[in-house]
Structure 1
Amino acid sequence: MTTVWVLGNQLTRTAGPLTDDPDRVLLIEAAALARRRRYHPQKLCMVFAAMRHFRDELRDDGVDVVYERAETFGAGLDAYFDAHPGDDLVVQRPANHGTADRLRELVAARGGSLRVVANAQFRCSPAQFDDWMGTEPPFKHRPFYRHMRRETGYLMRDDDTPEGGDWSYDDQNQETPPAEYDSPSVGGFEYDEHVPAVRDWVATEFDTWGDPDGFDWPVTREQATRALESFVADRLAGFGPYEDAVLADDWHLEHSLLSAAVNIGLLHPEEVADAALDAYRSRDDIPLNSIEGFVRQLIGWREFMRHVYRHQMPGLATANQLGADRDLPPLYWTPTATDMACLGSAAGRVYDRGYAHHIERLMVLSNFALTYGARPQALTEWFHGGFVDAYDWVVTPNVVGMGSFGTDAFTSKPYASSANYIDKMTDHCSDCAFDPDSTVGERACPFNSLYWDFLATHEDTLRSNHRMGLVYSHLDSKRDAGKLAAIRERAQRVREGVAAGRL
């Protein structure tokens, strides 16, 4: 008899070993996993409630499900093998580094066997990626994305050229919403007994960070498909133009909000892409830059991150090429501790919902930590605990590589910026206590002095970077004009205030 072991982020019946009509299914709700860090309570609630719903749906369909609630996977396996000695298990290969080997050891120690099969929750398999890449890094997203477009046929012409003539329309995804802009509602979900029960259990059992109230994430396949339908019907058309915009009074704009459901298996990336493409083909209101931008996120960047992580671990987890050594500032846990409108808003949205969109993640939260000098691992830990869609395979490369420039394995420059970018892409600066146009002085935006100080601190490493020539010519101008010393002094005062919890 073969039993499929379904992990909490593998809740799919549309792909993987559950499609083979198994004899039995095992799920283990291991509380110790929720004690590893200060998770957002909504993250824990989503995963545990989704697992319980998945169990119930399988049982309703006549599947023999063993559901063990235990402190650890080991304890759950003890209970399982006491009832089913010597059983053979099969599991999809976990995306997180080292997990498959650890699970094999746990099963073998209890007299069973574990067969690890390919993870079907991604579009590009390890063999496909490795065959495309060959043996020589560096990893380049742009050619990989083009490869995936050709492999899937998404937005491709019959002559193997991209629809519209260009591979990417990112330059059309950076518009500022008009003053009267009002994004479509994202709706909501109604829950049965599992969500409130899990929420109460999480509140009493675990040390969490974030607001448990306002939970509004899909925890069933049906809810996830409704969320997909809602995005495609109401927000996909407007997704592209304002993809990179940040508004103080609109936490979601026209983003899909589907990453958490995709990352635990309630949705498959291929079905999400197909639904969006079907709508694009059948409607006249979805522009090419909207559908291309969405496809690029889904079958480009997401898949790319998985394989970069696979190749670069375990070294990626400790990478810190700039030698950043500061702790993450207290304001990340207490968003009200800063008068910076953009940073307080982004950190506050994570506290409130376990979510902020990609520009807030990269150009506000990560940008500040980078220029402040926080250790990549400290920022990674915060992201991993705070976001509902966070898993090691996606958080570590995004934060260490993109957000912190801890490695140049797949990024060619740090994503650091002054307040100029924030002022351009957000509406925060107009109501902020700090001045985005000032670099020195108590009310000068901290992003400005931190940015120029960051460039000066890492000049020996970054000046030779061909993508940094222009910014270093500006740094030279400030130095020649005798302004750099005052800028760096202001940066030091900012850091002192931030470390003390005052900004």
Structure 2
Amino acid sequence: MTTLRIVLGDQLTRGLSSLRGCAAGDTVLMMEVAEEAAYVKHHKQKLVLVLSAMRHFAEELRREGLAVDYVRFDDPANTGSFTSEVRRAIARHAPTRIVATEPGEWRVMEMMKGWGAEILDDGRFFASPASFAAWAGGRRQLRMEWFYRDMRRASGLLMEGEEPAGGQWNFDHDNRKALPGDVVPPPRRRFAPDAITREVMAMVEARFSDHFGDLEPFGWAVTREDALEALDHFITACLPRFGDYQDAMKQGSGFLWHSVISPYLNIGLLTAREVCARAEEAWRSGHAPLNAAEGFIRQVLGWREYVRGLYWLKMPAYAETNALGARRKLPEFYWTGETEMNCLAQVIGETRRHAYAHHIQRLMVTGNFALLAGLDPREVEEWYLLVYADAFEWVELPNTHGMALFADGGVMASKPYAASGAYIDRMSDYCASCRFRPDVKLGAKACPFNYLYWDFLIRNETKLKANPRMAMPYRTLTKMDGARKAEVTRQAEAFLNAL
């Protein structure tokens, strides 16, 4: 019996279920296909990260003595799609069995069902789609906090017997500090491209020159060895202050104390269990405070597992919802970064340079603007999917659709994450260099987030006023006189129409 073992570009983990039990005569199939590289115009650095990591992983498997059938972009016979390449591989190897690990995206699962493969569970996650569905069954609300607590109990992470470490489940209230001007973030560990990566970079520049983003400076880890070094750097140099400043934003410092390991988790160079274990160990050894370790573990054990479960539970209908009826086209500045709103210019500029922005930049700057402006969820979601190195649909779609845009009507979030310029001013230094002023509500100097916020509430009053968590802003809106409301609406419409 010979087995064809399929490994996708986000499955670069030696313990992957489809790689277990490899025997003599088995073949590992890995494919670089145009269909996946260009179904959205992925950031150039994202393409280099995935393709270089794939090539390095294939070499590691070969050094172990495994037979790897690796289809490169420049193979003249490459047909450009997963399905046709699997068929060609079957013709080449005549396997008696085909195995694959369940993919991360619904559309790929639909393809995979036609390959005649035995589809194995992806054991790299704490929760399987089936276990999440069992947890969700019968619940009126699918809130992440309750899922997270159950995951803590099941995993034993940050637990002291039956109780959470420190006597509480969530230290989020301790993790909202603005960054003082005299606190300097640590330099971050980046990795110089080797010959394999340079070859991929040249290929990406030649074939995908019209894709979003800067190709250089490229500093992502493309091997497990380097990804582990990046993890060690985060735990050692960054985790102790990560909690305090995880919501802060600073001009010219896109990484701050964030882990910047989500791309490695999402392509398989690191696993969720090992990174959570390292964070817990740092707390138990006294190296990092509990609020930092808990805040990080909540992102991985809580949010990451939760959004994956929600994705598989609700797809494909989930992507079609548009609860607020948002239809406006994505503005050009999301691609160029050319806008007088400094917060947006900074975040989009860093995204172009690094294929990265941290979660508050994504949620409360680019996401908040998209929500307030009523941008079409499909266009916003495509943007998020292609611009970030860590973006795969299973994790990008729920975070954007549900958390940032409230397009699911509250399946994921209990309220829209809408905010005025005051929030961005409080959590960043962006406003000091902006032509608009966060303390001015209307007029030429007013921060657009201010009148867009109130216009958003006015436009969506019938849909949102009954939400208990929106009671306070709607009480304030009720006190606003008609003339002021009319001016808010007029200035918001003028601004949005000018986009």
TM exceeding 0.5: yes
Q: What's the secondary structure of 2:32's corresponding residue? A: strand
Q: Relative to 1, partners in 2 of residues 1:189 and 1:448: Cα closer, same or farther, differing over 3 Å?
A: same
SS, match of residue 20 in structure 1: coil
- Asked if the contact 1:248–1:428 (Cα under 8 Å) also holds between the matched residues in 2, the reply is yes
Please name the residue that 2:492 is paired with.
491
Matches of 2:314 and 2:86, distance apart in 1: 31
Whole-angstrom CA distance in 2 between matches of 1:451 and 1:415: 11
Tell me which residue corresponds to 1:91.
Answer: 100
Letter in 2 for 1:470: M
Distance in 2, matches of 1:417 and 1:101, equals 38
Report whether the alignment pairs 1:225 with 2:228. Answer: yes
Contact 2:129–2:313 at 8 Å: present in 1 too? no
Counterparts of 1:117-196 in structure 2, within 5 Å, are 117-158=120-161, 160-196=162-198
**TM-score w.r.t. length of structure 1:** 0.95
More displaced stretch, 69-78 vs 232-241: 69-78
Q: If the length of structure 2 is used for normalisation, what is the TM-score? A: 0.95
Q: Percent of pairs identical after alignment? A: 40
Question: Is 1:325 paired with 2:327?
Answer: yes
CA contact under 8 A between 1:92 and 1:120: conserved in structure 2? no
Asked if residue 379 in structure 1 is aligned to residue 376 in structure 2, the reply is no
* 1:244 equivalent in structure 2: 247
> Deviations for 1:289-344, whole angstroms, at most 9, x for unmatched residues?
00000010010010000011111111111110110010111110010x21111111
- In structure 1, give the amino acid aligned to 2:332: P
Q: Which residue of 2 aligns with 1:103?
A: 112
1:303 aligns with 2:312: no
Secondary structure of the equivalent of 2:251?
A: coil
Aligned to 1:50: 53
- Which AA in structure 2 matches 1:6? V
User: How far 1:190 sits from its partner (Å)?
Assistant: 2.8
For 1:437, the aligned partner's letter is D
Deviation of residue 494 (structure 1)? Answer: 1.1
By how many angstroms is 1:87 displaced?
4.1
| C-alpha contact 2:3 2:27 (8 A) present in aligned 1 | yes
In the alignment, what sits opposite 2:394? 393
Structure 1 regions of 5+ residues with no counterpart?
Answer: 108-112
Could you say which residue in structure 2 is the equivalent of 1:475?
Answer: 477
Determine if contact 2:6/2:18 at 8 Å carries over to the other structure: no
Which residue of structure 2 lines up, in the alignment, with residue 264 of structure 1? 267
Within a 5 Å distance, the mapping from 1:349-498 to structure 2 comes to 349-407=350-408, 408-479=410-481, 482-497=483-498
Task: After TM superposition, give the deviation of residue 14 of structure 1 in Å.
Answer: 2.7
Q: CA deviation at 1:137?
A: 4.4
Q: State the partner residue of 2:39.
A: 36
Report if aligned partners of 1:401, 1:410 keep a CA contact under 8 Å in 2. Answer: yes
Counterpart secondary structure, 2:122:
coil
CA-CA distance at 1:260 after TM superposition: 0.3
| Equivalent residue number for residue 17 of structure 1 | 18
2 CA distance for matches of 1:403 and 1:262? 22
Deviations 1:260-299 (A, max 9, x none): 00000110100111111112222x2411100000010010
Please state whether the residue corresponding to 1:483 is helix, strand or coil: helix
Contact 2:148/2:298, CA 8 A, preserved across alignment: yes
Deviations 1:349-383 (A, max 9, x none): 11111110000000000100111110111100000
- 1:192 and 1:213 map into 2 onto residues whose CA distance is 14
Matched, 1:280 2:289: no
Q: Take 2:341 and 2:192, find their aligned partners in 1: how far apart are those partners?
A: 35
Once the two structures are overlaid, the 10-residue window that deviates more, 67-76 or 442-451, is: 67-76
Where 2:245 maps in the other structure, the secondary structure is coil
User: SS of 1:440's equivalent?
Assistant: coil
Moved more, 119-128 or 369-378: 119-128
Take 2:316 and 2:96, find their aligned partners in 1: how far apart are those partners? 31
Moved over 6 A (4+): none
CA distance, structure 2, for counterparts of residue 439 and residue 122 of structure 1:
46
Residue aligning to 1:202: 204
Amino acid at match of 1:91: A
Q: Deviations over 1:405-464 (max 9, x none)?
A: 101212121111111111111111112110101121112100001110010000111111
Work out the CA distance in 2 between the residues paired with 1:17 and 1:327: 42
Name the structure 2 match of 1:110. none
The answer to whether the 8 Å contact 1:81/1:87 transfers is no
User: 73, 78, 82: which one pairs with 1:73?
Assistant: 82
What one-letter code is carried by the residue in structure 1 that aligns with 2:389? V
